[in-house]
Amino acid sequence: MSNIKFLVCLIITIILCTINYSKAQDDFLITHFDKENTSLSQNFINDILIDKRENLWIATSAGLNCWNIASNTPENVLIPNEISQKSLSAMAIYGTEELYLASFAGEIYRYHIEEQSIQNTYTFNADIAQAPKITCLKVDKKDCLWIGTEAQGLWILPKGKHKVRRFVQSEFTRVFDMARDRNNDIFIGTEKGLFKVEYTQESVNIKAIKEVKTTVNSLVFDSENTMYFSLTDKLTSSFYKDKTPINSHATVHFQFRDMAVDIDDNIWVSAMSGLATYSHRGEWQLFTPENSMLSSRAVNKILCDSHNRIWVSTLGRGIFSISSKAQSNNDAFELDEQALLAGEAVDLRVQFARARALIINYQPIDAIADFLKRNENLKVRLSGHTDNVGNPQINLELSRERALAVQKELNKRGIHIERIEVKFFGGEIPIAPNSSEAGRKKNRRVEIQIIQD
């Protein structure tokens, strides 16, 4: 009987957790970017970072990509072939205008963002048979580049030098992660525990954090400089806030590949069980293909941008962006009865793959779906438009397909098809001159109008 009671309690707990997670995902908008609908070189992402210009840099084995993410719709940034075709494993920001890029060939490039050129190429000392596989890069407060490797320990590129040298004081061989705290000190997670880079007037040293002696998988610091880190001891993984262990969780595996902190000090983790977030209130949320539009558990690097959007890279499914619905509605498409009047046309700002009806960003569609659910008496008209480049008949058909694609997505979100009228005009009704790319971009649109109040 006790076994039956335990089983019943377990089933109820699982159901409640599932309901709770499902409700949690209702608060977020998730957008998927991959090789099929963007300029991505490959869907297997090794590293991502964001520079001061709000460019998202994406390192893959097939090349480097760059998107500007200042708005809700990422825009591709062209970069020279000499760097866009490099097979890269890790990246780091240097100052405000430069990047360090680590290649699988064992070279490190210093790339100037504004000049769009490689400033220097650095190689490892010749006393090793094969260049090490680089797992992570980090620049410290002395402008030295620290290089973590998969099996050959820690390396350093001192400021002003041209050769990468092994840091001989290190007692570990595997570097899993490095993080910089609010004082710009570097902490290193290894198979031998946690270490810190310390400078004296004469030298630089690596100091072991004695309290942490098992494998540190990943680490991060919040706005108050509190460290969070993931440990693995044999087959057991644990999660710590400073020196305090956080209670284990039934569905979140505590071996993390990476961690990031958002503006509200929530901790986002790429766990073995998928993407999860740990709030400052001590609550977990798990994002899986079963309860969200995040269609991958193989999450890799994650980070937070200045708009509090979370960027999630995966091992095989490209990149996802995650933002709260309230925030996305405010930033991209405010929609209420006062902002959208009957008969007024508003650009939905839905982005499509070039010359196709394949939708790239879904935030505006989620916003209008929520609006129509709150206003069940309304009907809307979707109008598809293109620029005037190319065959007019093809443009007319493309505008039709794009408007129908939005209609289909709204229907998927519970809006009955009879409430969504579709019109299409090709390039007949421009709202800007077609003489420039900026004007043509404005003309490629799907508009919405209220047609029944």
Please write the tens of the pLDDT for every residue from 3-51: 554 444 434 333 334 434 444 456 788 889 998 888 899 999 999 999 9
Residue-averaged pLDDT of the chain: 85
**Predicted local confidence at residue 120, as pLDDT:** 93
Once rounded to an integer, what is the mean pLDDT over residues 152-168?
89
54-59 long-range contacts (CB < 8 A, ≥24 apart) are: 54/305, 54/306, 55/113, 56/305, 56/311, 57/91, 57/99, 58/313, 58/319, 59/88, 59/89, 59/90, 59/91, 59/101
Pick 449 or 192 by higher pLDDT.
192
Q: What is the DSSP string of 245-296?
A: EEPP-SS--S-EEEEEE-TT-PEEEEETTEEEEE-TTS-EEEE-TTTSS---
Give me the helix-helix angle, 325-332 and 363-374, nearest 10°: 100
Once rounded to an integer, what is the mean pLDDT over residues 178-192?
94
Q: Phi then psi for 142, rounded to 5 degrees? A: -100, 10
The answer to whether residue 366 scores a pLDDT higher than 50 is: yes
**Band of pLDDT at residue 348, cut at 50, 70 and 90:** confident
Once rounded to an integer, what is the mean pLDDT over residues 437-442?
83
Neighbours of 265 (CB within 10 A): 12
Once rounded to an integer, what is the mean pLDDT over residues 371-385?
86
**Predicted local confidence at residue 260, as pLDDT:** 97
Please write the tens of the pLDDT for every residue from 402-423: 899 899 989 988 999 999 999 9
One-letter-per-residue 3-state SS of 338-402: CCCCECCCEECCCCECCCCCCECCCHHHHHHHHHHHHCCCCEEEEEEECCCCCCHHHHHHHHHHH
Q: What is the DSSP string of 131-143?
A: PPPEEEEEE-TTS
The answer to whether residue 267 scores a pLDDT higher than 60 is: yes
Please write the tens of the pLDDT for every residue from 294-317: 888 999 999 999 888 999 999 999
Please write the tens of the pLDDT for every residue from 384-404: 999 899 999 999 999 999 899
Pick 5 or 135 by higher pLDDT.
135
Whole-number CA gyration radius for the chain: 25
Q: Kindly report, as residue ranges, where domains of CATH 2.130.10.10 are found in the chain.
A: 25-324
Cross-sheet strand order for the sheet of 310-314:
28-33, 319-324, 310-314, 299-304
Please write the tens of the pLDDT for every residue from 330-342: 433 344 333 455 5
Going 240 to 192 to 189 to 274, the CA torsion angle's sign is: negative
**Predicted local confidence at residue 342, as pLDDT:** 55
**Band of pLDDT at residue 344, cut at 50, 70 and 90:** low
The answer to whether residue 439 scores a pLDDT higher than 90 is: no
For residue 115, count CB atoms less than 10 angstroms from its CB and return exposed for 0-12, middle for 13-18, buried for 19 or more: exposed
**Predicted local confidence at residue 249, as pLDDT:** 87
CATH match for 25-324 among 3.30.420.40, 2.130.10.10, 3.40.50.300, 3.10.20.30: 2.130.10.10
Q: Kindly report, as residue ranges, where domains of CATH 3.30.1330.60 are found in the chain.
A: 333-452
**Predicted local confidence at residue 452, as pLDDT:** 58
Residue 221 tokens, joined: 């610091």
Q: Are 382 and 407 in contact (CB under 8 A)?
A: yes
Q: Phi then psi for 183, rounded to 5 degrees? A: -95, 10
Q: Are 137 and 144 in contact (CB under 8 A)?
A: no
Residue 65 tokens, joined: 């990509």
Instruction: Report d(CA 24, CA 175) in Å as an integer.
Output: 34
Of the chain, the percentage scoring pLDDT greater than 90 comes to 51
Once rounded to an integer, what is the mean pLDDT over residues 349-371?
73
Four-CA torsion 285, 287, 256, 66, nearest 10 degrees: -120
User: What superfamily does domain 333-452 belong to in CATH?
Assistant: OmpA-like domain (3.30.1330.60)
Q: Is 390 left (phi over 0), alpha (psi -120 to 50) or beta?
A: left
Q: What's the pTM?
A: 0.70
Question: Within its chain, how far is the Cα of 246 from the centroid?
Answer: 25
